[in-house]
A and B are shown apart, each in its own frame.
Chain A
Amino acid sequence: MELNPFSYEFHEDPHPIYRWLRDHVPLYRSEQLDFWALSRFRDVLPALVDWETYSSAEGVVLERLDPKMLEATPMLISLDPPRHDRLRKLVSRAFTPRRVASLEPFVRATAVRLLEPLVAQGGGDFVKDFSTPLPMEVIFTLLGVPDADRRQLREWTDLALDRDPDTPAIPARALEASLHQMRYLYELLGDLRRRPRDGLVCGLLEAELETDGGTTRLSDGEIVGFCSLLGAAGNETTTKLLANAAVLFARHPGEYRKVLADPARLPGAIEEILRHSSPAQYAARTVMRDVEWYGRTVPRGARILLLIGAANRDEREFRDPDRFDVDRQIPEPLGFGQGVHFCLGASLARLETRVALEEFVRCFPRYTVDDARCRRMHMSNVHGFASVPFVRE
């Protein structure tokens, strides 16, 4: 067996490989793609927390990112402290659970509006018609992107993360799309500077941070980097989490009935979806000093994958880990990472997913998914569906 995060077969079902890794090669080495990987829960968790040893500065995907681009538009996800902490402090206020809670009526109204035509038709494509437009409306409203531009911007975001089978080389179409996206965001920023309005981006333009050397503000590059990250992370992951939920519930009608009978179980069910089928399958890091794992030395400078998707199915940590159980207690959730890089949007993702599923459950108490026609997306570290056709029963 081998682990190739770019293999389309692996995207279909990574779990046989994950099990093999946990049981037989808990420290995995790929000579071909030049990386290492950890897969057991009790190895992945401390490594995620130890940012000093496991650096994010070269990006958190296996493919090589352009260092010039990382520098021009720095993103939280690929910065180490102290630069990470400065930026995070400026943006985190907008994402506290309390601030996020105020978005609930807007999220619900959007979910209801998107579900109306699906109810009338008796089904549709869960991804195209519901789990893609919902986070898109939320994130682009936060960013102040005009309605007319949203679909195009979301297409660039999707395309920027699209990968060819088996190879870590970033395809030309993806590079081109990310340039379009960056150019658009610079233009949006210029527009918001000339005509300020309420919203997150204008808040970022004004945000000031007291430091030892005086007051600092975010540079244009930092704001564009943040908007680009929010556009990708806030769209891709929530879209996939929601669709994974729709597929899991269709495959486990007994678990769906529990949620139908008592929607208060949804927050717990969402934690289980994040464990069982988390959108984020790994976080890549660069090792900053020689580290020992299972009698081998991972040398300084090496790339290592912390396999969240594998850790979440570790039988050493979870009883009957492949079982989907909406009542499972999960003491240390990994789906949003842990430590300084803990997902800034976790509260928003949890809120969007809960509200979307509350409304979906109400509209579609019985439905089936056409498994044969489901299609997967092929990105590097995010797993999920491109299409999930469903019909009311």
Chain B
Amino acid sequence: MRVIVDPVLCEGNGVCTQVAPEIFDLGDDDKARVLVEHPGEARRAEVETAVRRCPRRAIRLMRD
């Protein structure tokens, strides 16, 4: 799977960085950055929680 953050939608609420701190980080522009673009299946639950909890619905999960 591939993780994408839409920089237009993201407003840096930082929910994803709390849910999955090893996958997401806040950049200097106050927008979420994807640290691990292709996390393994083992991380799926964590990433899906971040997708579901993003208040702006800015995270997308794509197939490789």
Contact = CB atoms under 8 A, between A and B. Distances in A.
Interface size on A, as a range, is 20 to 34
A97 B12 contact: yes
A85 B26 CA distance: 21
Contacts of B13: 97, 342, 346-347
B56 A97 contact: no
A364 to B, nearest CB: 31
Interface string A84-95: 010001001101
Contacts of B14: 97
B57 A49 contact: yes
Nearest to A51: B57
A89 B12 CA distance: 12
A99 interface: yes
Nearest to B52: A332
Contacts of A346: 13, 55
A98 interface: yes
A93 B31 CA distance: 10
A340 B6 CA distance: 12
Contacts of A49: 57
Contact of A85 (B8, B12, B52, B57): B8
A99 B31 CA distance: 12
A99 B13 CA distance: 11
Contact of B56 (A331, A342, A347): A342
Contacts of A97: 12-14, 30
A30 interface: no
B55 A338 contact: yes
Contacts of A342: 11, 13, 55-56
A10 interface: no
A95 B57 contact: no
Contacts of A333: 55
Nearest to B19: A331
A305 B52 CA distance: 23
Contact of A331 (B8, B9, B53, B57): B53
A98 B30 contact: yes
Interface in B22-64: 26, 30, 49, 52-53, 55-57
Interface in A90-108: 92-93, 95-99
A318 interface: no
Contacts of B49: 331
A98 B56 contact: no
B57 A89 contact: no
B55 A95 contact: no
A93 B28 CA distance: 12
A324 interface: no
Nearest to A98: B30
Interface in A47-102: 49, 85, 89, 92-93, 95-99
B30 A89 contact: no
A170 B40 CA distance: 56
A96 B11 contact: yes
B59 to A, nearest CB: 13
Interface in A80-138: 85, 89, 92-93, 95-99
> Which 8 residue pairs across A and B have the least CB separation, nearest first?
A96-B30, A342-B55, A96-B12, A92-B11, A98-B30, A342-B56, A339-B57, A97-B14
Interface of B: 8-9, 11-14, 26, 30, 49, 52-53, 55-57
6 contacts: A49-B57, A89-B8, A336-B55, A340-B57, A342-B55, A344-B11
